Each structure stands twice: as structure tokens, then as C-alpha cells.
Chains A and B, each alone.
Chain A
Amino acid sequence: MTTISAQSLDLTFPSPDGPVHALSDITLDIAEGEFVSFIGPSGCGKTTFLRCVAALETPTNGQLTVNGMSPDDARKARAYGYVFQAAGLYPWRTIARNISLPLEIMGYAKADRAKRIDAVLELVELDKFANKYPWQLSGGMQQRASIARALAFDAPILLMDEPFGALDEIVRDRLNEELLDLWKRTNKTTLFVTHSIPEAVYLSTKIVVMSPRPGRITDVIDSPLPRDRPLDIRDTPEFLAVAHRVREGLREGMETA
């Protein structure tokens, strides 16, 4: 079943130096339960596409449906959870109360909120930190809390905009492993924006390679890798072949730009 469908999507921003073509002729179908990575250099429109799905931007032209609805209806129906690069946790709320915030806004009953907070905290292995404040946690733990917050209200779609971009490689590796595990258990359709080729290949069932000026798709790779992926899968020939194809796609995009 198609969860997200984009048909000839176009988006231009007005700017003092003339219009910026952020997205050009984006056609893409994402099936339910897929893990799709968007990779490309800055300005290729990967974040802009994610923001269109989230109804934080409106395409100038083309068709976009999320869960069979318009993106704005999907937003109002709380169809997705969004994770930004900055964890965006409130320093005056404990981790549990930060996760509680979207639930409060969406009108969940108190008992239900407590149950859901416990469940997602366990999912991201932060159950011992429920009553800690964000500043008492490391950057990686803060980002896990932010993912827990996006999972708490059972949205079928998870949108992640470079969630591990500010973290170091070691922490990043571990969070990638955990995220993959999380995805397998929750089966959420996940859209993941990244700069890192290994990250994209390791996590995704589908990799969308994009290039800038105008922001467009240069290659869509369906990963041949199995669902179960230990970290050392990154040394296998299959993995390296996919990584190679991503690199080729990125290079091609740079040449024609």
C-alpha cells in the first residue's frame, strides 16, 4: 500500500536573487513500512521534500498525498511524528513531561499518557531517565528522547531530518543500530534525511539520491540488503555495491548541476 505519493512536485521560493527552484519534478512512491533515506548535498531539496510531506511547506505545483490525504489534513490527523536535528526538549520539563507534551496537546487522558510515556521510554531505553531534565542527559540520549516523543502518539509515519547530524560517529553508529531495531519492531514508514552514505545504506530499504539547482531526484535505489542488519554488514560486498551506486548518483548529480 502506498503511504506517500508525490507526482511531479515543484516548489520555488522567491528570493532577492530571483526564484530558487528547491524542488523540480519530484515523482516518488513510498510504500507502507518502508525506510526511505534522502541523501544529497546541501540545497538538493531533501529537507524541503520532508517539510512538504509534513505540511510545513506547500508545493507550488504537482500532487502530494500522505496516507491518502492532503499533507495538511494528514498533519491535522497527526499522521506523522517529526524529529529535527536539534532535540528541542524544553529545559523546564523532565524527559517524561517532554514526551507528554504532544500527548497533552492532542488531548490524551492522563492515565493513557503515563502508559504511553513508559512504553516509548522503554523502547528507546531511557526508562531510568524519565524524571531527569534534558540538560542532565548526553546529546545522544536527548535525541533518543526526542525520537520517543515522536513515537508516543502512534503516528504511522516517522519523519527524521538529520536527527543524528550533530552527534559524533561512535554515538551515531549505536543510534543507527537502535533506530533500525526500533523500525523493525514498530514497522513505521520512515523518511530519513542524511548527509552520510554509510548511514543511508545501512538503514534504508530505499535510498533516494538527490542533487541541487534545481533540487531533483537523480537515482532511486531499492536496497538488496536483508531486514536484519548487524553493524558489520557494512563490510560486505552487497553493502559496498549499494554505497558505490549512491556515490555514483551523487557524482552524476554534481556534474549536471
Chain B
Amino acid sequence: MAIDDTPLSAPGAGIGRSGKVALALRGLPHRIGPVLAVIAALIALWYLACIPMNAQNALMLAEREGIAVTPATAQERRDMSGIALALATPDQAVARAFGQDRPRLPSPHQVVEELWTSTVGLKVTSKRSLVRHAGITLAPTLLGFLIGSLAGIALAVGIVHSRLMDLSVMPWAIASQTIPILAIAPMIIVVLNSIGIQGVLPKAIISAYLSFFPVTVGMVKGLRAPSASDLDLMRTWNASALRTLLTLRLPTSLPYLFASLKIAVAAALVGAIVGEFPTGAVSGLGARLLAGSYYGQTVQIWSALFGAAIVAALLVATIGVIQRVTLKRMGLAG
């Protein structure tokens, strides 16, 4: 594996390796340009979409203030599409599209504003603080991620070492992921509640249910990654299966493990959010989503949604940093 590594003496091998800062910044303008372009395009598209989405409401508000709109009555407007309405009275539809109290589609700046006030603008102890809600969802996420990852690794170890498990477990693991999590989550909550388990654990188990699978699949591949001659070498030393697992298979599998953990942690967050739905939880990101949809608070829904995405991004990025440091130290970085 290391043979085809560029030797340090190779021409040009040292270029750009001077200084950690330079290394970290290398190619940054290159990478960030396309990302910014895509974000800008998405935001523009979002603002554009707000106009027809909120046209119905915009024209109603205009009519209330006595401004003439076409068509003139709500009855006529009810069955028209948003695009047709926006085209019929473009000035009012555009002017009133982006600042409504209860828009069908909130505009980006409204969501950002809500995100800002509900995180930075509020004390963490406040009931509306998104930081508090995120923290409440984070506990089952991390616990479920831990349980799921360990279970995933254990299953993969079993599958790699036992032909019987290879044939019997994998189909069930795949089948488990075809069941909609929304269908199985209430059952898990109810069953665990009936044996007296409440609180964080049932949600963590739903998280684990979602996160074990990518780890199992990745680790089966990772534990089988050592080359035939590496495994033969272990055999010539008469090494036990346990020793081979610990000294060869597990270290070799680490790149696969980290790739799986990134998927698993995002899945665990989804599990924890879904786990809040059937319990009628009053706090947590899932509860914010649910409450927002009960009361038609679209701005709250979208900011909770983005809050969840930010939490997921932070979790994945954290694993990414650990991955880079570990693999670099182990000489496994590609």
C-alpha cells in the first residue's frame, strides 16, 4: 500500500508542504468559489419562488388596505395558481412577498433573522431558544450514534468472521432499512414505555436503528480491505483471528469507518428528530418542527429545519477533522 506512495525524494514531492497554514489554505479560493456561486444561485431561486408562493396572501393583504388588485375578489383568486396571480398584479405580489407574518414560504432573510434571534438573541434557558432545543435533541443523537456505531462494528466483525452470519445477518440489516422510520418509531416508543423505559433512551434507540446500518456496510468492506498477502503473512506468524483483527483488520478499516460514521451521525440526528414526533415532545428540534406546523408558523419550521442542518453539518465536520488528523497520523491519508 505504501509502495506507490510518492517518496520524499521524488521531484516536486515537497512542493506546497512548507508550513501547516499554507497547507490548510492551499486551494481554498479554488474550492470556495464554486460553493459561493451555488449558494448565491440557490438564494436567488428561493427569493424568486417566494413571489408566486406568497401571492395569494400578498394580494389579500393589499385588498385589505384598499388597493385595487386583479382579480378583485378572494373567491376568484382562490382557484388561481400563484404564478397566474403574480402575473396578474405583479407590483403588489412582489412588494408584499418577502415580509409577511405567516408566509407560505418565508424568505431567506426572515429565516436568518429568526435563526439569529432564537439562538444568539435569546438566553439558552429560554423556551424559544433554538440552542436549547438543539441541545435537547443532541443528547439522544449522540447516545444513539454511539450505540449504533458500536452495534454496526460488532455486526461487521461477526459478518467478516462467520460465514453463517455473513449469509444470515446482511439481508435482515438491509430489510431493517426498508421499513419507514416514521412507522416504526412510535412502536419503539410504545414498547419501551410499556417496560418502563422513557426519556432519552427510546429516542437514542431510534437513532441507533438508523445509524448502525452505514457503519455495518462500511466496516464489512473495511475489515476485508487488507490484501491477501498481508493476511497470509499473519497466517505464517500463526497469529490468532483476534490478533489479526486488532493489529491488521481494524487499523486498515479506519478510512472506511470514518466515511461510514459521517453518514451515521447525520442519520442519528434524523432518528432523534423523528423520535420526538410520536412522544408529543414539547422541546427538541423535532418538537419545534411539529409545533410550527400545528400553528402555521412557517418561519419557525424553516429556522428549526436550518438549525437541524447546521447541527448535522457541525457533527459531520467534527468527524471530518478527527478523520483527517487520525488518518494522517497513521499514514493512511490518500
In contact, B3 and A78 (Cβ under 8 angstroms): no
Is B194 in the interface zone, CB < 8 Å from A? no
CA distance in complex: A84, B329 (Å): 26
Is B39 in the interface zone, CB < 8 Å from A? no
Is A101 in the interface zone, CB < 8 Å from B? yes
Q: CB within 8 Å of B: which of A57-102?
A: 75-76, 78, 80-82, 84-92, 101-102
CA distance in complex: A92, B332 (Å): 7
In contact, B247 and A101 (Cβ under 8 angstroms): yes
Chain A residues with Cβ below 8 Å from B234 are 105
CA distance in complex: A75, B233 (Å): 11
In contact, A87 and B3 (Cβ under 8 angstroms): yes
In contact, A84 and B3 (Cβ under 8 angstroms): no
Q: CB within 8 Å of A: which of B215-255?
A: 227, 229-230, 232-239, 243, 247-248, 251
Q: Contacts A101-B247, A142-B2 known; A56 to B235 CB distance under 8 Å?
A: yes
Chain A residues with Cβ below 8 Å from B230 are 88
Interface size on B, residues (CB 8 A): 26
Stretch at the interface among A25-33, A115-123, A128-136, A238-246: A128-136
Is B5 in the interface zone, CB < 8 Å from A? yes
Is B282 in the interface zone, CB < 8 Å from A? no
CA distance in complex: A138, B330 (Å): 18
In contact, A92 and B330 (Cβ under 8 angstroms): yes
CA distance in complex: A84, B230 (Å): 9
Is B16 in the interface zone, CB < 8 Å from A? no
Is A254 in the interface zone, CB < 8 Å from B? no
Is A111 in the interface zone, CB < 8 Å from B? no
| Interface Cβ pair total, 8 Å cutoff | 70
CA distance in complex: A245, B8 (Å): 43
Chain A residues with Cβ below 8 Å from B8 are 136
Nearest CB on A from B153, distance (A): 19
Chain B residues with Cβ below 8 Å from A105 are 234, 237-239, 243, 247
Interface centre among A56, A84, A91, A136 (most CB of B within 10 A): A91
Is A198 in the interface zone, CB < 8 Å from B? no
CA distance in complex: A135, B7 (Å): 7
Chain A residues with Cβ below 8 Å from B238 are 75-76, 78, 105-106
In contact, B3 and A102 (Cβ under 8 angstroms): no
Is B331 in the interface zone, CB < 8 Å from A? yes
Is A166 in the interface zone, CB < 8 Å from B? yes
Nearest CB on A from B55, distance (A): 61
In contact, A106 and B237 (Cβ under 8 angstroms): yes
In contact, A102 and B1 (Cβ under 8 angstroms): no
Chain A residues with Cβ below 8 Å from B331 are 91-92, 133-135
Chain B residues with Cβ below 8 Å from A92 are 251, 329-332
In the complex, the chain B residue whose C-beta lies closest to that of A134 is B2
CA distance in complex: A46, B227 (Å): 21
In the complex, the chain B residue whose C-beta lies closest to that of A142 is B3
CA distance in complex: A119, B257 (Å): 37
In the complex, the chain B residue whose C-beta lies closest to that of A78 is B238
Nearest CB on B from A252, distance (A): 32
CA distance in complex: A81, B5 (Å): 26
Chain B residues with Cβ below 8 Å from A139 are 3
Is A11 in the interface zone, CB < 8 Å from B? no
Chain B residues with Cβ below 8 Å from A137 are 7
Could you pull out 12 A-B pairs where Cβ atoms are within 8 angstroms? A54-B236, A56-B236, A78-B237, A87-B3, A90-B251, A91-B2, A91-B5, A91-B332, A92-B251, A92-B329, A92-B330, A137-B7
Across the A-B interface, give the 8 residue pairs with the lowest CB-CB distance, nearest first.
Answer: A91-B331, A92-B330, A135-B5, A84-B229, A82-B236, A135-B2, A134-B2, A102-B237
Known: A82-B236, A86-B3. 10 other contacts (CB 8 A): A75-B236, A87-B2, A89-B2, A91-B331, A92-B251, A92-B331, A106-B237, A106-B238, A136-B7, A138-B7
